[in-house]
Amino acid sequence: MTLRIQIAQLNFLVGDIEGNTEKLLSTARAARGRADAVIFPELTLTGYPPEDLLLRSDFIARVEQALQRIIDEAHGVHLIFGYPLQRDGQLYNLAGVVRDGELIAEYRKQMLPNYSVFDEKRYFSPGSEAVLFPLNGVQVGLSVCEDIWEPQPMAQAVTAGAELILNLNASPFHTGKAPEREQLVQERARQHGVPVVYANLVGGQDELVFDGGSCVADGQGELVRRLAFYEEAIALVEFETGDRLRPLPGEVAAILSEEEAVYGALVLGVRDYVCKNGFNGAILGLSGGIDSALTLAVAVDALGANQVEVVMMPSRYTADMSNEDAAEQARILGVEHRTIPIEPAFNAFLGMLEPEFAGRPADVTEENIQARCRGVILMAISNKKGRILLTTGNKSEMSVGYATLYGDMAGGFAPIKDVPKLLVYRLCEYRNRLSPVIPQRVIERPPSAELAPGQKDSDSLPDYAVLDPVLERYVEQDQSPTQIIAAGFEAALVERVVGMVDRNEYKRRQAPPGIKITRRAYGRDRRYPLTRGYWTPLESER
C-alpha cells in the first residue's frame, strides 16, 4: 500500500486572501485522484509575512471566511495549509487539515521566531501541543517552519505517535541558507527515525525572497527529493507503508552555487516586486559602470527586454568608453535606450546657485548636483510611463554612504543594495558565462562615479578587496573594531570604515527597499537609531 502526498511549492501574494484561496482550491481540484494529501507553505491564505495586516480585525475576518469556503468546497483530498486565526481569544499561526467538508485537525505553531527579519511574537501566541491526524492508516504530525529548527516540537510529535512529519514553511533566502536548512531537516529525521516533508514558499515579498527548494528526508536522514529553486513546483511523493514508512526516491533538483543562488534571488525578487505591485515595467540609468550593468542584466532576465528601458545621462566628466559600453550592453540585451545629457540641467543649477556659492570652492556639492539632475530625469520618466525606477547602488556603497540622496539613491526598488561590490563582479562574470551580455571592459576597468575629472572610487574609498571584508565583520557579524583589528586589519582603516558606516545610517534609512541576500541586510534586518548618544568607542578599545 502507498501513501501519496503532493508538495505544492507555490507563490502567494501577501494580503490577497481571495486569490490565494482560489489558487489553493485550483491545486486541490487538480490533485483529486492523484494524491491523498496536498501540503502548502506557511500562512498559505495570507502570504508571508503579512506583518501589521494581522492587527486588522477585518483582515482576520476574511481569513475566517476563506477557511470556511475551503471547508465547503474541498473534497476528495486532504489539504494541509497555513492561516492566522483567533483561538481561545489569542491569534495563532496555524496549520489546518481539511477533508470533505470538515476541519479535522489544527496545529498551533509553537516556536515563534523573533530575530533577524522575523517578529512573530508581535502578532502570535505560541502553541504548546503536538497535533496528529490519520492519513491512510499513518499517524501524521504537523509542524510549522521554526518548529523544525528547535528539537522539542518534533520530539513531542514522535512521542505522541507520529510516523511522518509535515512541515509548512516560509523560509526566506540568504546565502548559505538552503544547505543549512536541508541538513537540519535530515538531522531531525535521523534523530527520530521518521520521514520529514518540508514544503517551502517561493516568491518575492518586498525585501525578502523565498527560494523554494522544498525537500523530503527519509527516516535515516537521507534526502530523497528536492524541488527546484526559484520556481513554482508541484511534486508527488509516494511512501511505502508497512512496518516502516518509507518515501520512494524521486527527482533531486541540483543544489545551486552561491552565484547561481544570489542571481536567482535577484531575478525573482525584481520580477515579483515589479509585477505584484502593478508596474508597467522598469527603467534605470545606465552609466557604463559595473553596478548598473548588473542591474540591467537582472531586470531583463526578470521582466524581458520589452519591459525595460535605460537612459544614458552623460556629463562633462563621462568618459567615451562609458557611453560606448552602456550603448553596447543595451544593444546586446535589446532594450529601449536613449541618451539625455545632463549638461543643460547642471549648468542651470550652477547658474541659479551662483550667488549662494560665491567665494566657496567647488567640492562634493557640485558632484551631488549632477547625480540629482539624473535622479530628476529618471523619476520624471518613471512617473510619466508608470515604470518603476530601479536604483543601482551596491551594499559596499550603501554601507559607507558613497551615494547621493535624491540622486542615484532616488527610485522605487534597489535590486543590489545588499550585494557587496566584490560579489557584484562575481555575479557579472557568472551572468556572462550563461551568455555574454556585459561588455568585458565594464568588468575590467576601475570603478568610478565620473562626477569629477579623472575620478575613481579608490580616491574616496579603500580598495574593495579590503573594504568588503571589514564591512562583513562590522555589519554582518557585529564585530567590534578591536576584534576586526585583532583579525589583522590596519587600525586606521578600521577606524575610517566604521566611522563612515556609523555616520551614514540616515542615508540608508531613506533608501528604497531592496533584496536581502546576506545574513544581515540593512532595513528590517539591521536596525540602528539615527539619533543616539552611543558611538563605536574606537580609541578607548585599543
**Catalytic residue (choose from 23, 120, 145, 163):** 145
- Annotated binding-site residue? 292: yes
List the grid coordinates of 429.
562574470
**Catalytic residue (choose from 23, 109, 395, 421):** 109
- Annotated binding-site residue? 177: yes
- Annotated binding-site residue? 417: no
Distance CA 207, CA 217 (A): 30
Angle at 222 between CA 219 and CA 227, to 5 degrees: 110
- Annotated binding-site residue? 289: yes
331-365 residues labelled b (16+ CB within 10 A) or e (exposed): ebbebebeebebeebbeebeeeeeeeeeeeeeeee
Query: Is residue 24 within 8 Å of residue 79, measured between CB atoms?
Result: yes
Q: Does the annotation mark 42 as catalytic?
A: yes
- Annotated binding-site residue? 288: yes
Distance CA 58, CA 43 (A): 17
**Catalytic residue (choose from 23, 42, 373, 421):** 42
| CA nearest neighbour of 517 among 349, 394, 402, 429 | 394
List the grid coordinates of 479.
564585530
- Annotated binding-site residue? 287: yes
CB atoms within 10 A of CB 330: 22
- Annotated binding-site residue? 180: no
- Annotated binding-site residue? 385: no
How far are the Cα atoms of 186, 201, 213, 401 from residue 180, in angstroms, in the given order?
10, 16, 12, 32
Half-sphere exposure of 25 (CA within 13 A, CB side): 17
Angle at 509 between CA 48 and CA 428, to 5 degrees: 75
- Annotated binding-site residue? 456: no
- Annotated binding-site residue? 514: no
- Annotated binding-site residue? 290: yes
| CA nearest neighbour of 416 among 363, 426, 407 | 426
- Annotated binding-site residue? 286: yes
Query: Is residue 102 within 8 Å of residue 68, measured between CB atoms?
Result: no
List the grid coordinates of 503.
555616520
- Residues sharing a CB contact under 8 Å with residue 344, sequence separation 6 or more, in sequence order: none
- Annotated binding-site residue? 397: yes
Distance CA 370, CA 517 (A): 30
Q: Does the annotation mark 231 as catalytic?
A: no
Annotated binding site: 115, 171, 177, 285-292, 368, 392, 397, 507
Annotated binding site for deamido-NAD(+): 368, 397, 507
List active site positions: 42, 109, 145
Annotated binding site for ATP: 285-292, 392
Annotated binding site for L-glutamine: 115, 171, 177
